[in-house]
């Protein structure tokens, strides 16, 4: 593991810090800034801010310059994520496009797809959704049923997707559909289609989350159109394209996550020092102290694991199935930080204003949101099976 930064890396950090100091307004860093704003208003503010950041050259940090990226290193991307987390910057409006679609298009897209997709994605001109999950196909993705029948130069799509992040704000969706019969293998006959969401045959409906937001939703396709040229990776190769696409999340470092969770742990520890419980400060409770300490140890392990991953990816190593270990580690560490918040407040942690006078919105949202992280991107149980079979070589 290499814990040193090159001069180039340090210069990049200083430059980005200076840019953030000027361009990220102080009020936008505070949780209160978002209070009372609708989902639509919040999304638009984040979209505009991210577009400005891209305009200033802070986007696609490790993507090639020919595609509008910055041509940097994995270390620079980790520094970028860390500095955004430290500054409490708004989160990206295009996470699916950035994590999954962009790298896949660069790897296997046609020249037209590279030209038409990557730059608008980086500049938030096109918000991309991922349409994989269906009511009957989640962990078992190959059970998907959406149909795409070819008619002339178009596919006609019919079916439903669910849990679609940014469904209500999406412009386009990369989605999996059956373009031909499966012929004995459930993985055959699937294609990845790039579909315009602004057409009469596509209807997005919000789903209300426990946080009160509707960050995800359902998407219904009723005779929706997709030109046959808008297939990514070739017709019938959807399963291979999807596996390639999902592999791009691998190798991403968890340093930004560590920084964010550590900040939240500090807020919880601080709260425990303020809050009276049973005639003394909560922080005096030995059981709570143990919990806080255990959570801090996990956080520091996550930090060193992130450095290890960064060293590996900087040396060009493909992490393969080991990436599932990182996903399990950061999501469980996050859950533990949220559990310490619950231990301080009790069940009151679930209500919007659990301690009048104390501004706890950030922690409450964190605690509720943390419940989803062991599900999306592959559930914890499925990740464990991947590690058991493909990393440890255990029998099925």
Ligand X SMILES: Cc1cc2nc3c(=O)[nH]c(=O)nc-3n(C[C@H](O)[C@H](O)[C@H](O)COP(=O)(O)OP(=O)(O)OC[C@H]3O[C@@H](n4cnc5c(N)ncnc54)[C@H](O)[C@@H]3O)c2cc1C
Indicate which residues carry an active-site annotation. Answer: 249
**x/- site string to ligand X, residues 361 to 380, per CB under 6 A?**
-----------x--xx--x-
Provide, rounded to whole angstroms, the least separation between the CB of residue 381 and ligand X.
3
Q: Which stretch binds ligand X (CB under 6 A): 112-120, 133-141, 221-229, 272-280?
A: 133-141
- Count the alpha carbons within 13 Å of 6 in the hemisphere toward its beta carbon: 10
Q: Which single residue brings its beta carbon nearest to ligand X?
A: 138
Task: Please tell me whether residue 130 binds ligand X under the rule CB under 6 A.
Answer: yes
The backbone torsions φ and ψ at residue 142, rounded to the nearest 5 degrees and listed phi first, read -70, -5
The backbone torsions φ and ψ at residue 63, rounded to the nearest 5 degrees and listed phi first, read -90, 150
**x/- site string to ligand X, residues 19 to 38, per CB under 6 A?**
--------------------
**Considering only CA atoms, which of 128, 8, 78 is closest in space to residue 252?**
78
The residues near 1 (Cβ < 8 Å, ≥ 6 apart) are 304, 307, 308, 311
Exposure letters 173-185 (e unless 16+ CB within 10 A, then b) = bbbbbbbeeeeee
- Residue nearer to ligand X on the CB measure, 16 or 216: 216
- DSSP character for 360? -
Q: Which stretch binds ligand X (CB under 6 A): 120-128, 129-137, 146-154, 286-294?
A: 129-137
* Count of residues engaged in binding ligand X, rule: CB under 6 A: 18
- Residue nearer to ligand X on the CB measure, 141 or 345: 141
Task: Please tell me whether residue 383 binds ligand X under the rule CB under 6 A.
Answer: no
Exposure letters 341-367 (e unless 16+ CB within 10 A, then b) = bbbbbeeebeeeebeeeeebebbbbbb
Taking CA atoms, 145 is separated from 178, 182, 231, in Å, by 7, 11, 18
**Considering only CA atoms, which of 48, 236, 245 is closest in space to residue 131?**
245
Task: Please tell me whether residue 80 binds ligand X under the rule CB under 6 A.
Answer: no
- Count the alpha carbons within 13 Å of 156 in the hemisphere toward its beta carbon: 6
- Residue nearer to ligand X on the CB measure, 148 or 269: 148
- Residue nearer to ligand X on the CB measure, 102 or 131: 131
CA 167 to chain centre: 14
**x/- site string to ligand X, residues 200 to 239, per CB under 6 A?**
----------------x-----------------------
- Count the alpha carbons within 13 Å of 246 in the hemisphere toward its beta carbon: 21
Provide, rounded to whole angstroms, the least separation between the CB of residue 191 and ligand X.
16
- Residue nearer to ligand X on the CB measure, 96 or 337: 96
Task: Please tell me whether residue 164 binds ligand X under the rule CB under 6 A.
Answer: yes
Task: Please tell me whether residue 104 binds ligand X under the rule CB under 6 A.
Answer: no
Provide, rounded to whole angstroms, the least separation between the CB of residue 287 and ligand X.
29
Provide, rounded to whole angstroms, the least separation between the CB of residue 142 and ligand X.
12
- Residue nearer to ligand X on the CB measure, 78 or 197: 197
Q: Which of 44, 165, 211, 355 binds ligand X (CB under 6 A)?
A: 165
- Tokens of residue 74, six digits: 């994995």
Beta-bridged to residue 220, according to DSSP, are 160, 203
Task: Return d(Cα 23, Cα 119) in angstroms, integer.
Answer: 22
Residues that bind ligand X (CB under 6 A): 96, 130-133, 138-139, 163-165, 216, 372, 375-376, 379, 381-382, 385
């Amino acid at each position: 593991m290499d814990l040193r930064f090159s001069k180039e890396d340090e210069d990049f950090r200083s430059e980005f810090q200076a840019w953030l100091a000027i361009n990220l307004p102080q009020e936008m860093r505070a949780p209160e800034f978002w209070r009372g704003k609708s989902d639509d208003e919040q999304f638009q503010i984040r979209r505009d801010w991210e577009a400005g950041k891209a305009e200033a050259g802070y986007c696609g940090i490790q993507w090639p310059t020919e595609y509008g990226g910055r041509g940097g290193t994995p270390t620079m991307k980790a520094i970028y994520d860390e500095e955004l987390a430290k500054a409490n910057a708004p989160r990206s409006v295009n996470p699916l496009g950035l994590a999954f679609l962009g790298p896949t298009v660069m790897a296997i897209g046609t020249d037209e797809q590279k030209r038409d997709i990557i730059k608008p994605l980086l500049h938030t001109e096109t918000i991309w959704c991922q349409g994989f999950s269906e009511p009957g196909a989640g962990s078992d993705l190959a059970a998907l049923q959406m149909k795409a029948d070819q008619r002339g130069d178009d596919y006609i799509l019919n079916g439903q997707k669910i849990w679609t992040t940014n469904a209500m704000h999406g412009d386009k969706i990369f989605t999996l559909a059956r373009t031909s019969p499966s012929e004995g293998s459930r993985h055959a006959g699937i294609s990845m289609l790039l579909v315009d969401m602004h057409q009469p045959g596509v209807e997005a409906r919000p789903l209300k989350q426990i946080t009160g937001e509707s960050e995800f939703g359902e998407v219904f396709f009723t005779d929706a159109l997709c030109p046959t040229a808008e297939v990514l990776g070739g017709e019938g190769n959807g399963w291979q394209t999807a596996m390639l696409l999902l592999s791009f999340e691998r190798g991403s470092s968890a340093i930004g996550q560590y920084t964010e969770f550590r900040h939240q742990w500090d807020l919880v520890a601080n709260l425990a020092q303020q809050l009276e419980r049973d005639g003394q400060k909560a922080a005096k409770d030995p059981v709570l102290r143990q919990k806080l300490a255990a959570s801090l140890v996990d956080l520091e392990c996550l930090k060193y694991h992130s450095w290890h991953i960064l060293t590996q990816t900087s040396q060009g190593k493909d992490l393969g199935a080991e990436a599932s270990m990182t996903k399990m580690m950061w999501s469980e560490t996050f859950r533990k930080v949220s559990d310490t918040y619950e231990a301080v407040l009790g069940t009151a942690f679930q209500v919007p204003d659990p301690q009048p006078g104390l501004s706890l919105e950030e922690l409450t949202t964190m605690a509720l949101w943390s419940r989803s992280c062991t599900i999306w991107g592959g559930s914890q149980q499925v990740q464990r099976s991947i590690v058991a079979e493909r990393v440890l070589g255990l029998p099925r």
